[in-house]
Amino acid sequence: MTDKFSKKKRSEIMSKVKGKDTKLEIEFRKELWKVGLRYRKNVTKMLGKPDLYFPGKKIVVFLDSCFWHGCREHCRMPNSNIKYWEKKIERNKKRDKEVTKYYENNGFKIIRIWEHEIKENFNRTVKNTIYQINKN
């Protein structure tokens, strides 16, 4: 099946997809900030560019989008350019495993949170994350 948009239009659409500072991320971060947790966000010098990094605690947090990270429950592959998307998502999943292993092997606590977890129960996800950060 071919794409229903021209290459130029598809490029324009994809350029609007946010990789950081989504509404969900901002809301989530604000809740952590409210309880006194201080972090650095989107640290480009760290492997995988963690969404949140707590330097004093050696904790990294990744907020994983269901589509881009290949959630088994919610990732819906596009109907066009299927091979490309399958390869892209599989590579993302492989990279996530490599990043997780790197942080675990280097004494970090790594917290990965699915987009759907935040959407389904925002308050529970925030409280659980705060608990995990504070118990370290």
Q: Give the CATH number for residue 113.
A: 3.40.960.10
Evaluate if residue 20 carries a pLDDT over 60: yes
| 20 within a domain of the structure (yes/no) | no
Pairing of strands 59-64, 109-114: parallel
Tens of pLDDT, residues 58-113: 999 999 999 888 888 888 887 777 888 889 999 999 999 999 999 999 999 999 99
Domain count, the chain: 1
Strands ordered across the beta sheet of 59-64: 40-41, 52-54, 59-64, 109-114
| 113 within a domain of the structure (yes/no) | yes
pLDDT the model gives residue 1: 45
- Boundaries of domain holding 124: 26-134
| 17 within a domain of the structure (yes/no) | no
| 3 within a domain of the structure (yes/no) | no
| 87 within a domain of the structure (yes/no) | yes
| 10 within a domain of the structure (yes/no) | no
